[in-house]
Homo-oligomer: A and B are copies of this chain.
Amino acid sequence: MKKLKRSARLVEMTQFLLSRPHTLIPLTTFAERYGAAKSSISEDLAIIKEVFEDEGTGELQTLAGAAGGVKYIPHLAKEHALEFIHGLCEQLAQPDRILPGGYLYMSDLLGEPGIMNEAGKMIATAFRNQDIDVVMTVETKGIPLAYATGAQLNLPVVLVRRDHQVTEGSAVSINYVSGSHKSLHTMSLSRRAMKEKSRVLIVDDFMKAGGTIQGMVDLLAEFNATVAGVGVLVESGSVDNDERLLHDYVSLANLTVVDPRSKQIAVKPGNYFDL
């Protein structure tokens, strides 16, 4: 126990809460930690709550009663999210991103932990009131976003592999069709990685028709697990609706045009903002 002045206690509590999202902290934890009365702790929490809400960085949920306490729910305000996504769209639309085959180079942006954390906060905001047990993605490029989302929601991340790895133990494999060439691929998930009946939030960096994500959905069925939601960083809006395998998802950005000949790229905010 440490006796702190209110000013120092506020700094310490802010730090404590920010590093424990979606975790119920009993008031007694704070009261004992600082040797303070619960009434003082409640006053501190009211100050923190007001700042978080004014800033649009999160909610502080207070649960009354014996099992009560306080829970920090990270939250990215719509205006901040929109500002962030406009910046991301601008960067994605740089003409030198176009690669042979009409692919878009995104690895530099996926390599910025700051961008991934903001994007993860957005997905965590969209699904903050859902009942979810685990975040899942398939290697490789969706991994940072899945972890950023998992960190904000205080959930573990499960990784689907493209091949069966010796370090994963026994695994369940499925085949799935992906890409405009309708090519056949394999993905595999370790038996011990996913509990039966888990509720799963699927996260990925990019979605076109949705073949890869549909593969993950099929894989989950093998574990009697269910999909609680799907969140992607960028969707390709150039897919015909009848080609689309998946309709219920949240996208942060929408890539509407990639024209290798004219070097034109157009990106707009995703369906996140229609919610």
Contact = CB atoms under 8 A, between A and B. Distances in A.
B8 A7 contact: no
Interface string A1-41: 01010111011101100100000000000000000000000
Contact of A18 (B18, B151, B166): B18
* Most chain B beta-carbon contacts within 10 A, residue among A7, A18, A112, A150: A7
* Most chain B beta-carbon contacts within 10 A, residue among A15, A105, A150: A15
A228 B190 CA distance: 35
Interface residues of A, number: 57
Interface in A34-58: 47-48, 50-52, 54-55, 57
A166 B179 CA distance: 12
Main secondary structure of the interface of A (DSSP, over half): helix
Contacts of A51: 4, 8, 11-12, 15
A169 B159 CA distance: 25
B12 A10 contact: no
Contacts of A11: 10-11, 14, 47-48, 51-52
A156 interface: yes
B7 A147 contact: no
A113 interface: yes
Nearest to A109: B156
Contacts of A158: 111
B8 A159 contact: no
Interface in A97-117: 99-101, 103-108, 111-114, 116-117
A92 to B, nearest CB: 13
B103 A167 contact: yes
A263 to B, nearest CB: 14
Interface of A: 2, 4, 6-8, 10-12, 14-15, 18, 47-48, 50-52, 54-55, 57, 99-101, 103-108, 111-114, 116-117, 139-141, 143-144, 147-148, 150-151, 154-159, 161, 166-169, 190, 192-193
5 contacts: A10-B11, A15-B52, A113-B151, A141-B167, A144-B157
Given A2-B54, A101-B166, A143-B143, 19 more contacts: A10-B10, A12-B51, A14-B14, A15-B51, A18-B18, A99-B169, A100-B166, A105-B190, A107-B159, A107-B167, A111-B159, A111-B193, A116-B147, A117-B151, A139-B140, A140-B140, A140-B161, A141-B167, A144-B144
The 5 residue pairs across chains A and B that have the minimum distance between CB atoms = A113-B151, A11-B51, A14-B14, A113-B150, A139-B140
